[in-house]
Chain A
Amino acid sequence: MTDQDDAQLKALLKKHYDPVVTEPIPARMYMRRPAWMGYARGFALVAVGILIGLALPYFRPAPPPVAAAQPAATFSMRAARAHLVYAPEVRHPVEVDATQQEHLVKWLSKRLGLDLKVPLLAGEGFELLGGRLLPGPEGPVAQFMYQDSGGKRLTLYVSKPNRADQPAAFRFAQEGPVAVFYWIDRDCGYALSGELDRGTLTRVATAVYKQLEP
């Protein structure tokens, strides 16, 4: 056999099979990865989806902490808020002023279902301005307001205890700028609030306590 024969044979084979090279590659061959790769891809996609689903809540802005995290504002907190809303009022700090003290006490007692007494704090330098009715979480609340000669104001917040409120002895709480003395007994809760130093507030609160809890 000569080299020429070999070359002829080669040319013959090439002539017959070279056209395969230019045939379009079947799509299955070109695109299809091995089956396990397809499964792995599928599983990976599903896993990524699950992870995204699980992670999504963490990317959301946190809900406002106050509403969700705390069951309800505490008694002292509610008292401090009420103080902050009404104490700065210049023209309408109260609904019923002290000139109608008797009417004020009757009205609020009726609305709260309590036999209210208004402590007299003139001995501590605070005169009664009057009072108003407020909404509380479980019913009406009464607020009495006092003022000293320098224009500093105190409020006394009175309500029936909420179910969530634990009976409490004489307690102090600082709610932001407002100092609060409060006590809660079985029938009634009292909170004395003011933007005062703790010493002054303690003195006044003691006087209130003595008058209300015989």
Chain B
Amino acid sequence: MDYDLIVPYIPNLRRYARALVGDRDGADDLVQDTLERAVRKFHLWRPGDLRAWLFSIMHNVFVNQLKARRIAPDVELDESFAAPVASVGPLDLEDMQRALNTLAPEQREVVLLVALEDMSYADVSRALGIPMGTVMSRLSRGREKLRRVMNENGPKAGLKVVT
């Protein structure tokens, strides 16, 4: 049964979706839609990397959801409203998520697939359907921005505000 082959990948899909979408319910909806689509299209899967195939399906579903519902806030909008948070401790999950949300969705995808799934550039290129060069440029720009945002909003920024 196709579904039984897919089930082992559900935890990975959920982890990635959580970081990509942010909220738990939205992320699980993305996973759910991905699973249903995967079962429906399972006859199209050619034995090979099932994980990459599932993530490519999730990518398609994610893009469709963005188009339909504008799940992720606009990058510029988010950036302008990403007010520094007065947090003194180490970066918590909320801060992490807020920082991730400042990335453009296509940057976020690349950064997260490499970081969470340990995917190679080639894997990411296949899963997202983009050239390797694009993978690398999105990855470096995404990482850079993420670090910058975290440094601004992170403990240092907090300290600044407190002082």
Contact = CB atoms under 8 A, between A and B. Distances in A.
Interface of A: 1, 5-6, 9-10, 12-14, 16-18, 20-23, 25-26, 28-30, 32-37
Contacts of A13: 19, 96, 111-112, 115-116
Contacts of B114: 10
B28 A17 contact: no
Nearest to A29: B32
B146 A9 contact: yes
Contact of B39 (A16, A21, A30, A34): A34
Contacts of A25: 10-11, 14
B15 A30 contact: no
Interface residues of B, number: 30
A32 B39 CA distance: 11
Contact of A21 (B14, B31, B91, B143): B14
Interface of B: 3, 7, 10-12, 14-16, 18-19, 28, 31-32, 35-36, 39-40, 91, 93, 96, 111-112, 114-116, 140, 143-144, 146-147
A26 B116 contact: no
A16 B93 contact: yes
A14 B143 CA distance: 14
Given A1-B143, A6-B143, A30-B10, A17 B15 contact: yes
A17 to B, nearest CB: 5
A24 to B, nearest CB: 10
Contact of A1 (B12, B28, B144): B144
A78 to B, nearest CB: 65
A12 B146 CA distance: 11
Contacts of B112: 13
A29 B96 contact: no
Given A13-B115, A14-B115, A29-B28, A34 B36 contact: yes
Contacts of B91: 12
Ranked nearest first, the 8 interchain pairs of A and B with the lowest CB-CB distance are: A34-B36, A20-B15, A21-B11, A13-B115, A10-B115, A16-B96, A17-B19, A20-B18
Given A9-B115, A10-B115, A29 B10 contact: yes
Could you say which of A1, A17, A29 has the most chain B C-beta atoms within 10 Å of its C-beta? A17
A103 to B, nearest CB: 88
A33 B39 contact: yes
A10 B14 CA distance: 17
Given A16-B96, A25-B10, A9 B143 contact: yes
Nearest to B1: A33
A34 B140 CA distance: 38
Contacts of B93: 16
A38 to B, nearest CB: 11
